[in-house]
């Protein structure tokens, strides 16, 4: 048995996957009468089931984002893949995952749903990884999966690849690097480069943020073939709709336009950072490598409700560790950011 098979739940290892009509016959034919679909094409070819392996989309991802075709699997958002990874590797009521707080809330929620314990290690005061603490916790508690979010949501910083490699080296379980915001950092070094040397490293990407199609629900796992194939076996066969696959291919074909928008967002972020820093009641604007900024004030709740009354909704992160007084604000369009600045200028603390 391989090292990765040993880490898996036994019932997953032994699973006979569902075999869809599109698995049974993969070729091209004139007439498909094998999936009980309607012949009637009412709206945009939605009468046909989608490709379970999303081959065209994965080829496009290789072409545009250099994500190696044989290492990718598509999820209904990266959220679905987080859930699948936990279900594949963690035994309910027995195993655990490890996260570095404050971070993306979904890891713990999916662990909870699967009756899997979450071990928290806090980031250091400056939002860097507490490598010593992480390693000692890994050795002591043996989490099945370590999640590292880089750039981290909600602290907005990138963790050095060398530190991620150190954790991957020390961790005998699965190490998942969630790179949802990586496209906003021009100098970003992806952990994909670690996969060949460390086969237990998985990387999550999404088209929801910089690629502007959150509504289509397209998340990507990049992993070694064994993990990739297991996800493919465990996921619902038609997890990503035909419409979503087409929308994703269109967005990737439109990559010049989308990159322009992304560059504009980065420019607007820098402008916002500068303007918000000069407000007298703002204690700190925490710089990020993402499409959001972090504003620290004395009374985050009060500013949050003030903005809400003005019709502007931000994310209140004041109750997260290290983030007392912090609001997380997505960088919007130029017009939206202007309205935000007008509201912030009118605030009397």
The contact set with ligand PLP (CB under 6 A) reads 77-79, 104, 149, 153, 178, 180, 206, 208, 214, 219
Distance in Å, CB of 251 to ligand PLP, minimum: 13
> Between residues 153 and 268, which has the closer beta carbon with respect to ligand PLP?
153
61: nearest Cα among 205, 190, 181: 205
Name the residue number minimizing CB distance to ligand PLP. 77
Burial of 273 from C-beta contacts in 10 A (0-12 / 13-18 / 19+): middle
249: nearest Cα among 218, 292, 280, 277: 218
> Between residues 22 and 317, which has the closer beta carbon with respect to ligand PLP?
317
Residue appearing with tokens 């569902």: 18
Answer for the pair 144, 90: CB distance below 8 angstroms, yes or no.
yes
> Between residues 153 and 337, which has the closer beta carbon with respect to ligand PLP?
153
Distance in angstroms (rounded) separating the CA atoms of residues 278 and 140: 46
Distance in Å, CB of 345 to ligand PLP, minimum: 29
Give the pairing type, strands 218-222 and 201-206: antiparallel
Distance in Å, CB of 75 to ligand PLP, minimum: 7
> Between residues 35 and 313, which has the closer beta carbon with respect to ligand PLP?
313
Give the pairing type, strands 326-330 and 315-316: antiparallel
> Between residues 181 and 344, which has the closer beta carbon with respect to ligand PLP?
181
Distance in Å, CB of 208 to ligand PLP, minimum: 3
Write a three-state SS string for 214-245.
Answer: HHHCEEEEECCHHHHHHHHHHCCCCCCCHHHH
DSSP 117-130: EEEEEEPPTTS---
Distance in Å, CB of 180 to ligand PLP, minimum: 4
> Between residues 22 and 156, which has the closer beta carbon with respect to ligand PLP?
156
Distance in Å, CB of 262 to ligand PLP, minimum: 15
The two tokens of residue 65 are 């984002």
C-alpha count within 13 angstroms, C-beta hemisphere, residue 338? 3
Distance in Å, CB of 114 to ligand PLP, minimum: 17
> Between residues 121 and 282, which has the closer beta carbon with respect to ligand PLP?
121
């Amino acid at each position: 048995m391989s090292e990765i098979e040993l880490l898996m739940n036994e019932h997953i290892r032994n699973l006979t996957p569902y075999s869809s009509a599109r698995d049974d016959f993969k070729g091209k034919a004139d007439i498909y009468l094998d999936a009980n679909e309607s012949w009637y094409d009412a709206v945009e070819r939605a009468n046909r089931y989608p490709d379970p392996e999303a081959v065209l989309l994965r080829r496009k991802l290789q072409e545009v984002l250099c994500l190696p075709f044989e290492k990718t699997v598509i999820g209904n958002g990266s959220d679905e893949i987080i859930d699948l990874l936990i279900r594949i590797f963690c035994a309910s009521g027995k195993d655990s995952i490890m996260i570095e707080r404050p971070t993306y809330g979904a890891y713990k929620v999916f662990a909870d749903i699967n009756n899997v314990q979450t071990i928290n290690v806090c980031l250091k005061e400056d939002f860097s990884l507490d490598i010593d603490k992480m390693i000692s916790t890994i050795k002591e508690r043996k989490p099945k999966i370590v999640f590292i979010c880089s750039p981290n949501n909600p602290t907005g910083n990138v963790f050095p690849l060398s530190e991620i490699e150190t954790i991957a080296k020390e961790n005998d379980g699965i190490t998942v690097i969630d790179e949802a915001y990586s496209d906003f950092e021009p100098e970003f070094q992806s952990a994909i480069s670690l996969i060949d040397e460390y086969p237990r490293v998985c990387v999550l990407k999404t088209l929801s943020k910089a690629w502007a199609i959150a509504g289509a629900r397209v998340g990507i796992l990049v992993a070694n073939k064994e993990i990739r194939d297991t996800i493919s076996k465990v996921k619902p066969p038609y997890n990503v709709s035909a419409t979503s696959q087409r929308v994703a291919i269109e967005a990737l074909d439109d990559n010049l336009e989308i990159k322009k928008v992304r560059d504009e967002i980065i420019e607007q972020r820098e402008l916002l950072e500068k303007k918000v820093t000069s407000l007298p009641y703002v204690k700190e604007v925490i710089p990020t490598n993402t499409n959001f900024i972090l504003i620290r004030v004395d009374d985050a709740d009060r500013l949050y409700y003030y903005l809400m009354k003005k019709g502007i909704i931000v994310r209140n992160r004041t109750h997260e560790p290290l983030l007392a007084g912090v609001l997380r604000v997505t960088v919007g369009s130029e017009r939206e950011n202007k309205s935000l600045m007008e509201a912030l200028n009118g605030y009397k603390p």
